[in-house]
Structure 1
Amino acid sequence: MQQPIYDVNIKAGSSGTTTNENGFYELKIPANTDVTIIFTHLSHKRVEATFNLKNGEEIEFNPVMKIEIEQITTVVINHNTKHSVEGVVSIAPAVLRTIKGAQPGVENILKTLPGVNISNELSTQYSVRGGNFDENLVYVNEIEVYRPFLIRSGQQEGLSFVNTDLVQNVDFSAGGFQAKYGDKLSSVLDITYRTPLKFGIRAEASLLGGSIAAEAVSKDSKFSGIIGLRYRDNSLLINSLETESNVIPVFADAQTYLTYKFSDKFHLNFLGNISLNKYNFKPQNRQTNFGTLDQPIALLVFYEGQEKDQYLTTFGAFKANYFPTEDLTLKLIASAYHTTEEEYFDILAQYRLGEVNSNIGDENLGEVEFSEGIGSQLTHARNDLDALIFNVEHKGDYKLDEESTLEWSVKYTHEDIRDRLVEWEVIDSAGFSVRPPIYDIPNNQPYEPFEGPLVAFQNVRATNEVQIDRLQAYAQWSKRSMLGAHEVFYNAGVRIHNWTVNSKVPNQDGVTSSTQTVFSPRAQFAIKPDWEKDMLFRLAGGMYYQPPFYRELRDASGTVQPDVKAQKSIHIVLGNEYSFEMWERPFKLVTEAYYKNLTDVNPYTLENVRIRYSATNNATAYSYGLDMRLNGEFIPGTESWFSFGYLKTEENIDDKGYIARPTDQRLKFGALFQDYMKALPDLKMYLNLVYNTGVPGGSPSYANPYQFQNRLPAYKRADVGISYLLVDSNKEYTTKWKQRFKELSIGFEIFNIFNAQNSITNTWVRDVYSKRQFAVPNFLTPRVFNVRLSTRF
């Protein structure tokens, strides 16, 4: 029978402690660092264990020490349930680096989680539980990061901000998050970059680009740093699309995370990033076949012109950590984000819409034989944006006692945005210029000549200079205790957000200004019953606000509306976690039901990844659903999971009745499965599977969305990767070239293995005969093959 051992010496670096008569001990170790703890006793064999914990994370670790020479494997009695009680999903960095996709990174894994929907493999944007892309918070080492403003399609995006080669921890919450996180309506992605302990290099190359990351630490261990360089070329994917083109999509970035430890009480960190996206696009032609087997239809388009886009972003942040006592931590964070974005294009598209020859054996099989619509479209844009964002924040946490903690923050943000928007579109159908329906000019042709002016179908011209000052603060209290024999967790907090919008009036000297303030109370409660089955129940909710960012202030005409209110959501989440063993391996089933009641909603339209807001608060909405995720070792030594989600979200604009929101994706199924051959364990395989039912397909310009509620087809995609580990750090090699590597692997990937035809938006084309408008799908990438080489020194 195992008995507690008194007076065991426990040492971690220069600090240490001993166990009491009951075998209990408490030891504080540095966060985000690999720390080796040594357990020694005169009568027992020495035990060593290495940990790497996040700031504030706690675990209970009790090794089994034997008198004999042989040492029994250590036993963890109870792992910290901090993430479980907070409703946070943690993703292992090894999974991020192993599971690749058409758009590799954190988002590639997020799309397999319940409640997270990504229906565009070229994009890193995701919607969570009915929200849009702008409703998600992203933090790297407690520093909020931003995405470019003008990007309108996934193929322009390039790289995700998060560099997976630098990642140590990935935490994700799909709703009901604490007050310490910012003011968004949907989700939080909390990334921690690692602090290195020794020199190392990691490199990777594929047909889609490459990356290299290096890390080092000084001899006195005071200074450490990690740097990552990435290059991405999406030509392989874009050239597989239906539109034949000459395209040069080049994306590159450099990131670094540096740490200097002046003393045990004061640490200074720096996070830096520079990113360049260049997208040069010259479309040539396109043919899209759609319709039915009985009545096949094709859209044939010939293009002239080109598009040139460039997005240059720089980001830098300093973070000072001061530990005056063991119970008090003080932080000061200062960051700056700057982006200059250019979007220039002139593209003439001449199209034929007609019936397709479906006679098998005919030499003209598949060609358009009878044209139902002939026309052209000329689009023009000269859009420039320059945005500069400063943040200064003080954060702190104080441990009131062994079981409760108080956290607080005060943050000031200044946003300076200068934007020039020039876009117009001219549409010609069968030789006649199509006028926009917003002009109410009598037209009595052919009885009277029409003398109205020729106008573009769409014409947006605006110049905006906007400054936004924000003052945010929060305070929250967390406590663990016992309720009878049951373990409970409490968290309660409140946020306050005050912002002032100053907008220069175009062609005038005046400035319009608006100041608003919102309060956001939030709370969480979790209980772990003292049952034979390992269960945990969680209830979270609160009042969540999203004060408008610049894009939410700009209406369809490009004019900034400073009086736009913060969107408001009352959010309730009820969750359950059931941990169990199956096949003598650990598994966990997580179930969450949620409901959101939204008011002061700012309606928007969604085209690919570009969101256009109405800049009004004239709608209400709701979202509710159920998310389930089963994860565990389906194959020994590998983590896999299966996800299911049900969602319904609708909005009521101007009291016209409820219709589906652009992100109303009813059913979702996702799977991430890893496997290997027992006879050849170095040969590994992964399957990344996503099925999402279709979202509303949008509506033509100026059309009433209540009359266009047809949905896109379901999004079906499966990516498969096979890799072989040539060199493993756990093995010894006599071959000289293998001794130079710690790891070396080669892989082969098939994206969209079943060649599913997925579409992201519709192109609306007019039929001059029937006066109808056809929704022509814009298809995404078909089956694509890729090879990959990865190494670590």
Structure 2
Amino acid sequence: MSLCTYAQSAIVKGFVLNKNNQAVSNVNITCMGVKTNSKADGFYSIKIPANQKVLLAFTHVSFKKTVVSVQLSTNEVYEFNVVISDQQEQMGEIIVTNTNRRQVQGVVSIEPGLIKKMAGANAGIENILKTLPGVNSNNELSTQYAVRGGNYDENLVYVNEIEVYRPFLIRSGQQEGLSFTNTDLVQNVDFSAGGFQAKFGDKLSSVLDITYRKPTKLAGTFEASFLGGSASLDVISKNKKWTAVSGVRYRNNSLLVNSQDTQTNYKPTFVDVQTNVNFNASDKWNFNFLGNISQNNYNYQPLSRQTRFGTIDQPMVLTVFYEGQEKDRYATYFGAFKTTYKASENFTIKFISSLFHTTEEEHFDILAQYRLGEVDATVGGETYDNVSFTRGIGAQLHHARNNLDALISNTEIKGFHDWRKNLVEWGAKYTRESIRDRVVEWEVIDSAGFALNPPDRFLPVNDQPYSSYTGPLVPYNSIRATNFNTINRFSGYVQWSRKDKLGSSDVWYNAGMRMQNWAVSGTNANGTSQTVFSPRGQFAIKPNWEKDMVFRASGGVYYQPPFYRELRDASGQVQANVKAQKSIHMVLGNDYSFKMWDRPFKLVSELYYKSLTNVNTYTVDNVRIRYDASNDAVAYAQGLDLRINGEFVPGTESWVSFGYLKTEENSAGKGYIARPTDQRLKFALLFQDYMPNIPSVKLYLNLVYNTGLPGGSPAYADPYIYQNRLNDYRRADVGFFKSFIDDSKPRPKSGMFKDFKELAVGFEIFNLFNNQNAITNTWVRDVYTKSEYGIPNFMTTRVFNIKLTAKL
């Protein structure tokens, strides 16, 4: 290994290969007098001075000299696989931005290249987030995630500093289709699981901050698989003032849905188009436009289902035959304009305006006729594994005509003042949310020839066929509401940051305040004006120790003023005076960077506690959240997150995550019970590997284990009387990729692939061990014993996929 005494340094590492893709040992690597050699497997690592352009030279007696120009920032680690040849000399340039601020803010930075390669049923940024501690999801068909005891509605997502939104009416993961973020366009991904700064908005749980790239030359990407495809294009004008990166995606979940117990005619089309355009009018003035059009059409016609459950001694089977279909449509249009003006070296101002429009339809009529029976478990018997006794026969009819039209506009101004060691940031924002919503949804249940009454009505007992019933016939569940509402919001923030010295240690300070005022008006709902203030702060210190450690403390008072879904109660009516949920959040963290097996590693640990008041309790069914809209509860969340990442395999980054979480709520003084997101234990592994003799063949493993969530109980059940937990969630996805063209080998000089920078073919296995994971339960009744059975609704089974990726 190389040794140097640079005050500020970075690391370049990788493999040295020949034109036949074989490792080359004993290659001399030099940089400004520092030397090292490649090992037997071709691996090398060398320290270079940071924040300046230097030359890195590769020499060997049997090969031509290869030189690359490198500029890295402090503590940056860059992987560069070089191909040395006896015929040509390779020249290039590497410039990497500084990520030191992320470390002191407790922000996780995710490599965009890893996002595209990591296997997952719903590949993308969210697929990687689910391997981080404190981030939980038990639904591989959904891109939604819960963070440290929060729910899906408590996470902020920004693209180019612009807040983005999701559709409102989606009930299940298989309806989602596409996440807003197009991975093909991404440059930086930062994620904070809590204790974030005042400049970020008013949510309780997390921030996902994404930046789309600005192209430097004409380029393109292409991807195709059994689940759909995508393409992107980078363009730049001759004078380099105009740049644009655009992408189109298509998604079809049939491969995954057809692996479930329910046999269906499934015809979905999930399509979106995005573009990010930049215009540099001058050195001081920049203009940016971000646009997105998304069309999700979900047509679903269930045919039949057979689910086996029970015990070995008493196996049971549920058989269901369906009639009817579901037709859902989610069309969203999003446009945002941003201009940045650098008034002076120390002052920058930004103006941002965005418009989001969504029209959503959720229409279905589905009749399910079921038969619940006992299975003959007598091995060797004539009726073995057949239904020997029918416990229940019935039917359920679900109907919905739900429509929503929402228009959300934002206007915002931001300022940045850099004065000596101090950075002052401020902003003001106006948001107008106009929402028109109609809910018409009911369910009728018929068991053994008579309709079941809703459990929360004071109706005569229906015990047919033993006695006649004279009471009224009403649906088992019925929701009808029409809401036309407008919400006006004014928000703002100011924060101060400073880097300084405390003795011989480096320290970072951050303190800020947010404010939001809002009022709800509309049909049968005119609320009072409400205002909240949210002070927040961060402190980090890097002692001058031999060991590389950073200690962090952050927290504050976090408010979440209600969004439209939080205003709507279980009956579908808007409650205009719902208060903002409040969380006092404290986080203590430590980053420890060290070397193991002569390779870099980092251990990140965070201890957190949240005390919540004005809690708006809710239930979760698949991914649909329904709120009580009463603010009559208090809650808490506490836990520990651990993650170790580094080069478990030389030249690749992997990590292991562990999370412990306990979150409970006390509603109306009735006592503490587990919240719907009480995910006690979490273990995840994100692992990369390669074949030593063929580095172009790589493996990507994504493994997640979560203990069971509170859920699966009947929707009408009082959680204080009956609260069920789903089984543990276990899933492993693996991908094998063969790179035919990449940076580690010279590109073809002729033929159809001469313009390709990357070309790879992958084989993916989703749910490698074929685990049966349940997302909810279907409850059916045995009329003879008056018992109810929860039959698990299993997620996807083992599925195979082939993927082709290319970059021009």
The reply to whether TM is greater than 0.5 is: yes
Is the CA contact (8 Å cut-off) linking 2:514 and 2:533 kept in structure 1?
yes
Answer yes or no: is the 8 Å Cα contact 2:69–2:93 preserved in 1.
no
Distance 1:36 1:643, change over 3 A: closer
Alignment CA distance shift 1:160-1:61 (3 Å): closer
Within the alignment, does 1:568 sit opposite 2:582 as a pair?
yes
2:430 is equivalent to residue 416 of structure 1 = no
**Pairing 1:677–2:691 present:** yes
Partner of 2:396: 377
Query: Gapped runs of 5+ residues in structure 2?
Result: 8-49, 56-66, 78-88
Give the 5 Å matches for 1:570-719: 570-719=584-733
In percent, how many aligned pairs have the same letter?
61
Q: Which amino acid aligns with 2:435?
A: I
**Distance in 1 between the 2:129 and 2:266 partners?**
29
Decide which of 268, 287, 290 is 2:306's aligned counterpart: 287
- Count of residue correspondences: 740
Instruction: Label 1:397 to 1:77 Cα distance change in 2 as closer, same or farther (>3 A).
Output: closer
**Contact 1:343/1:383 (<8 A) preserved:** yes
* SS across alignment from 2:529: strand
In the other structure, the counterpart of 1:434 is: 452
Question: Is 1:783 matched up with 2:802?
Answer: no
| 1:387-536 correspondence to structure 2 within 5 Å | 387-401=406-420, 403-442=421-460, 450-505=469-524, 512-536=526-550
Structure 1 residue ranges without an equivalent (≥5): 6-34, 41-45, 52-57, 63-69, 506-510
Contact 2:70–2:95, Cα closer than 8 Å, also in 1: no
Amino acid at match of 2:802: V
Distance across 1 between alignment mates of 2:736 and 2:462: 67
How big is the shift at 1:361? 4.5
What residue in structure 2 maps to residue 49 of structure 1?
70
Tell me what 1:23 maps to.
Answer: none
Distance 1:380 1:444 in 2: 23
In structure 2, the residue matched to 1:24 is none
Segments of 4+ moved more than 6 angstroms = 1-5, 73-79, 444-449
Determine if contact 2:334/2:355 at 8 Å carries over to the other structure.
yes
Instruction: Give, in angstroms, the shift of residue 773 of structure 1.
Output: 1.5
Find out whether 1:351 has 2:370 as its counterpart. yes
Aligned AA (1:541): G
Distance 1:97 1:448 in 2: 63
Partners of 2:382 and 2:292 in 1: CA distance: 56
- Give runs of aligned pairs for residues 314-325 of structure 1, distance below 5 A: 314-325=333-344
Looking at structure 1, the residues matched to 5 and 457 of structure 2 have their Cα atoms a distance apart, in angstroms, of: 86
Per-residue deviation at 1:559?
A: 0.4
CA distance in 1, matches of 2:732, 2:610: 31
RMSD: 2.6
Instruction: Give, as a single letter, the amino acid of the residue that structure 2 aligns with 1:336.
Output: L
Aligned to 1:349, the other structure's residue is in SS state strand
1:448-498 deviations in Å (ceiling 9; x for gaps): 965322100111110000100000000000011011111111100000000
> C-alpha separation between the residues in 2 aligned to 1:155 and 1:3?
55
Distance of 1:216 and 1:253 partners within structure 2:
19
Partner of 1:747: 762
The secondary structure found in structure 2 opposite 1:673 is strand
Distance in 1, matches of 2:782 and 2:468, equals 25
Between stretches 361-370 and 142-151, larger displacement belongs to 361-370
Alpha carbons of structure 1 residues 331 and 782: separation in structure 2 relative to 1, 3 Å: same
* 8 A Cα contact 1:715 1:758, kept in partner: yes
Q: Distance in 1 between matches of 2:794 and 2:588?
A: 38
For residues 54 and 160 of structure 2, the distance between their equivalents in structure 1, rounded to whole angstroms, comes to 31
Question: Using the alignment, how far apart are the partners of 1:243 and 1:61 within structure 2?
Answer: 50
Change (3 A) 1:156 1:80: closer
Q: Which amino acid aligns with 1:533?
A: K
Structure 1 position 107, deviation (Å): 0.5
Q: Which amino acid aligns with 2:129?
A: L
Within the alignment, does 1:537 sit opposite 2:556 as a pair?
Answer: no
Query: 3-state DSSP class of the match of 1:284?
Result: strand
Specify the SS of the correspondent of 1:95. Answer: helix
Task: State how far apart, in whole Å, the 2-side matches of 1:701 and 1:151 are.
Answer: 17
**Contact 2:620/2:711 (CA < 8 Å) preserved in 1?**
no
TM-score computed with the length of structure 2 as normaliser: 0.88
Looking at structure 1, the residues matched to 261 and 579 of structure 2 have their Cα atoms a distance apart, in angstroms, of 42
Q: Any conservation in 2 of the 1:301–1:352 contact (CA below 8 Å)? A: yes
Cα distance change of structure 1 residues 334 and 286 upon mapping to structure 2, 3 Å threshold = same
Greater shift, 513-522 or 622-631, is seen at 513-522
1:305 aligns with 2:320: no
Specify the SS of the correspondent of 1:512.
Answer: coil
Of 518-527 and 696-705, the range deviating more from structure 2: 696-705
Q: Which amino acid aligns with 1:459?
A: S
Aligned to 1:326: 345
2 CA distance for matches of 1:561 and 1:734?
67
Name the aligned partner's letter for residue 421 of structure 1: V
- Equivalent of 1:222, from 232, 241, 260? 241
Task: State which of 242, 260, 272 in structure 2 corresponds to 1:241.
Answer: 260
Is 1:36–1:48's contact at 8 Å kept on the other side of the alignment?
Answer: no
Deviations 1:713-756 (A, max 9, x none): 10000001001011124414355233131111101000001000
Q: Comparing 379-388 with 528-537, which one deviates more in the overlay?
A: 528-537
Instruction: Find 2:180's aligned residue among 142, 147, 161.
Output: 161
1:371 shift after superposition: 1.2
What is the distance in 1 between the residues matched to 2:661 and 2:736? 33
Corresponding residue number in structure 1 for 2:753: 738
Q: Deviations for 1:248-300, whole angstroms, at most 9, x for unmatched residues?
A: 12101000000001101100000000001111111111111111111111111
Answering whether residue 787 of structure 2 is matched by residue 772 of structure 1, we say yes
Q: What is the CA deviation profile of residues 105-140 of structure 1, one whole-angstrom value per residue up to 9, with x for unaligned ones? A: 000000100000011100000000010000000000
Aligned residue identity for 1:563: N
Partner of 1:180: 199
How big is each residue's C-alpha offset from its partner over 1:496-537, in whole Å with a ceiling of 9 and x where there is no partner? 0000100212xxxxx523210000000001111111111111
1:444 deviation in Å?
9.5
Alignment check: 8 A CA contact 1:600 1:617 kept? yes
In structure 2, do the counterparts of structure 1 residues 269 and 363 end up closer, same or farther at CA, with 3 Å as the change threshold? farther
Q: Deviations over 1:543-578 (max 9, x none)?
A: 000000000000011000001000000000000110
1:60–1:76 CA contact under 8 A, matched in 2? no
- 1:61–1:75 Cα contact (<8 Å) kept: no
Match of 1:55 in 2: none
Alpha-carbon distance in structure 2 between the residues aligned to 1:237 and 1:2: 53
Distance between the aligned counterparts of 1:85 and 1:408, measured in 2? Answer: 21
Indicate if the aligned counterparts of 1:373 and 1:767 stay in contact, CA closer than 8 A: yes
Query: 1:197 corresponds to which residue?
Result: 216
CA contact (8 A) 2:293 2:333 kept: yes
Distance in 2 of aligned mates of 1:36 and 1:272? 35
SS across alignment from 1:782: coil
Distance 1:277 1:485 in 2: 57
Task: Determine helix, strand or coil for the equivalent of 2:720.
Answer: helix
Change (3 A) 1:338 1:363: farther
Q: C-alpha separation between the residues in 1 aligned to 2:367 and 2:459?
A: 28
> Match for residue 315 of structure 2?
296
The answer to whether the 8 Å contact 2:186/2:210 transfers is yes
Residue 710 of structure 1 deviates from its aligned partner by 2.2
SS, match of residue 705 in structure 1 = coil
Whether the 8 Å CA contact 1:633–1:639 is kept in 2: the answer is yes
Q: 1:445 to 1:358 in 2, by over 3 A?
A: closer
**TM score, norm. by length of structure 1:** 0.90
